[in-house]
A and B are shown apart, each in its own frame.
Chain A
Amino acid sequence: MKKEILLGNEAIVQGALEAGVQFVSTYPGTPSSEIGNVFSQIAKRPNGYPGVYFEFSTNEKVALEAAIGASFSGLKCLVAMKDFGLNVCSDSLIPLLYTGTKGPMVIIVGDDPSCWSSAQSEQNTRPFAYLAHIPILEPSDPQEAKDFTKLAFEISDRFDLPIMLRTTTRVAHQRMPVELDQTPKTKNQNLTGEFIKDKKRFVTLPPRVLEMKAELLEKIEEVRNFAEKSKENKIIEKSKAKIGIITSGVSYLYVMEALKELKLDLPVLKLAFFYPLLERKIKSFIKNKKKILVVEELEGFLEKEILGLAKELNCRLEIYGKNLLSVIGELNQTKVALAIAKLTGKKLKIENSLEIENWKLKIPARFPRFCAGCPHAFVIAAIKKAAPENTIFGGDIGCYMLAGMPQYNLQDYLFSMGSSIGIGHGIKKSTNQKIIALIGDSTFFHAGIPALINTVFNKSNPLIIVMDNRTTAMTGHQPHPGIGKTGMGEKTTEIKIEDIVSACGVKNIKVIDPINQKELENTIKEFLNKDEVSVIVARRICVIAAKKNAKENE
């Protein structure tokens, strides 16, 4: 079979194509962004790959809802987002499990242990399974990322439920040769479905909604039975050792590497499914063991489940996990080897790396910075000059988070998408202090608009600066509603930020090219003294996006 080196995210795309995906929607976010980028190329109109519809949606909630509509019309759907995106779309995710899908749907969610590319929190998405009853598959490498994507489509098709594929940074951004099927099924496929009215199925009103819940719980038991038999769960049991390891996702790779390093042959149960829990499989693995080490990143949800199962079995099993492995930060083979060595009493020689780890801190850190010519840097420079001391600076999600770096120091709070305005409003209502809320163009469309409306509706007066660099820069320059181009490269209505701001009832609005420093400074000074909310749209294209555009137009 032909093999090609693929990034985890590219392998997911390949798996979806091989499964015959028809409808793909996403909002970009590291570590899942490349999924959208690749589909954006594949689905390019008019000359591109026929048979796949693709869109960059305005936010993750809308992306999921678009896919729900397509699924209800019978199409095969994929939705991709980063972990925080799942929080945004959870309001529609939970009822989706109640209605179930019609066309199959796979939802890709990328967690980022160690927060390599994430502000806001080190999220472990797994407990969404408990909240929404959504089955979760966890691949460990690009080959599994492809295989599990196909398996997820199969399960979704069979049980009419959306299936989540949870990746982490080290899976999504891992490369290895992946086996390819020569003929993706998407070639020339029909993209026209039909919505057949069925209130019993698609309307979640009580009392029907409670029946739906009962049906969902039944389906989950069926999925559990199916999953128990899946070949993607692996048991590696060459020895009769009484110490066993249970793991899943990328942690499995660290376990195998650590065992190799330690020259140990311990039994390993590798779970493909986080939810529903494979109770039979786990029970049969643990019943004749004395000690079990659960190797999982972040919070020990699997460990808690296994503790419960051990109690049911009433066996005198010792369970280890988070007492040997941290809840914070990603794992690696060294951390896992240390835990296994501790448990087995095996000596581990670690070549001076841990001591040097501390030494590393003595090397000054090179923080990321604004690119040469970055329009954000001009906005920051003007703010520095114009804003009086004690002005509060609200940060938001995008490249302009760099304003918080020591050399600029213009970020006094930072939360989730759109929150610079929402929180800014609350501070304004509670204090007499001046506040500047920064927000990017894509972030403004994503979640800034309701917060802006709230400042007008409830009469507060922050100064909002929309850092409009004409792209979604941080995640790799994806288009958004203000660009006039869709994710498939088609022309579309260009939605002007200043028109939205004006329609929200804001009276103080100015669009300024931040290169005009004096004008920007004067406007900041003027607007900071207004009694009503004011908005500056600082518009200048991102330097990298400009280069990319020039290349495309060559």
Chain B
Amino acid sequence: MSNFNMIISGVGGQGLITLTQIIAEAAKAEGVEIKTSELHGLSQRGGSVETHIRFGEKVWSPLVAGGTADLILSLEIQEALKVFSYSSKNTVFLVNRKYIPFENGLSEQEVEKKINELVKGEKHLVAASDICQKELQAEVVSGIYLLGYAVFKKLIPLKSKSMLKGIKEIIPQKYLELNKKAFELAKKNG
């Protein structure tokens, strides 16, 4: 298998590092090499954040090179645009239809228009935040829902079993059931 390159983008505080850790554990469970990269510190405070995930036969660099992402998972719609430089025409976009505005930012309509213009390949705009709020009263697990979506739609070459193992490894016992539910909900809805 050639390396799989993935970017997760979002706004600081949305739980990107947790998702990154889960995917890393899932890849490890499948016995492939895995490296990730993330940033800590002030950038976490509500600014744009991105993490890099690479797994496969032989992974040297923890960074995804520009134009080489296989999958871009964005937890917020404007943040999908922010990491567009990692994509090529073969990149799959999986985007949470969640809009977190900021001063001088684009309007929701403008963002969606831009995404539709720019992303030539496969794209999935999923209202994960709304779905999780409605069905589980917990928007906080929308990232896990998207992870489930990626697995069941085969947007990421990792097994559902491995991902659940990753969830178990990383999520505290207290919130485990809720997270598993969010993951399975994606399958049910898919």
Binding site for B on A (CB under 8 A): 3, 5, 30-31, 33-34, 116-117, 141, 169-170, 173-177, 253-254, 256-257, 260-261, 332-334, 350-354, 356-357, 359-360, 363-371, 399, 401-402, 406-407, 474-476
Q: A5-B34, A352-B67, A368-B47 are in contact. Are A359 and B21 (CB under 8 A)?
A: no
Q: Considering the chains assembled together, what is the distance between the CA atoms of A356 and B68 in angstroms? A: 13
| Residues 44-92 of B at the A interface (beta carbon under 8 Å) | 44-48, 58, 60-63, 65-68, 78-79, 81-82, 84-86, 88
B36 to chain A, nearest CB (A): 4
Q: Considering the chains assembled together, what is the distance between the CA atoms of A475 and B45 in angstroms? A: 11
B40-A175 in contact (CB<8A): no
B39 within 8 A of A: yes
B65-A368 in contact (CB<8A): no
Q: Considering the chains assembled together, what is the distance between the CA atoms of A204 and B50 in angstroms? A: 49
B21-A175 in contact (CB<8A): yes
Q: Considering the chains assembled together, what is the distance between the CA atoms of A250 and B113 in angstroms? A: 39
A353-B58 in contact (CB<8A): no
B24 within 8 A of A: yes
CB-defined contacts of A31 to chain B, threshold 8 Å:
40-41
A32 to chain B, nearest CB (A): 10
Interface size, chain B (Cβ < 8 Å): 46
Contact with A along B159-176 (1 / 0, CB 8 A): 000000000000000000
- Which residue of chain B has the shortest Cβ distance to A176 in the bound complex? B35
A368-B46 in contact (CB<8A): yes
A353-B60 in contact (CB<8A): no
A116-B106 in contact (CB<8A): no
B12 within 8 A of A: yes
Q: Considering the chains assembled together, what is the distance between the CA atoms of A169 and B58 in angstroms? A: 22
Enumerate the 3 nearest inter-chain pairs by beta-carbon distance, A residue then B residue, closest first: A353-B66, A117-B41, A353-B67
B82-A366 in contact (CB<8A): yes
A352-B28 in contact (CB<8A): no
CB-defined contacts of B48 to chain A, threshold 8 Å:
365-366
Sample (16) of A-B pairs whose CB atoms are under 8 Å apart: A31-B41, A174-B62, A332-B63, A333-B60, A350-B67, A363-B84, A366-B46, A368-B12, A368-B43, A368-B44, A370-B45, A371-B13, A371-B45, A401-B42, A474-B41, A476-B40
B104 within 8 A of A: yes
Across the interface, B45 reaches (CB within 8 A) one of A260, A363, A402, namely A402
Q: Considering the chains assembled together, what is the distance between the CA atoms of A334 and B63 in angstroms? A: 10
Q: Considering the chains assembled together, what is the distance between the CA atoms of A366 and B104 in angstroms? A: 9
Q: Considering the chains assembled together, what is the distance between the CA atoms of A363 and B106 in angstroms? A: 8
Q: A353-B66, A354-B66 are in contact. Are A170 and B84 (CB under 8 A)?
A: no
Q: Considering the chains assembled together, what is the distance between the CA atoms of A356 and B81 in angstroms? A: 11
CB-defined contacts of B21 to chain A, threshold 8 Å:
5, 175
Known: A174-B36, A353-B68, A356-B84. 9 other contacts (CB 8 A): A174-B35, A177-B28, A333-B60, A333-B61, A353-B65, A353-B85, A368-B43, A402-B45, A476-B40
B41-A260 in contact (CB<8A): no
B38-A173 in contact (CB<8A): yes
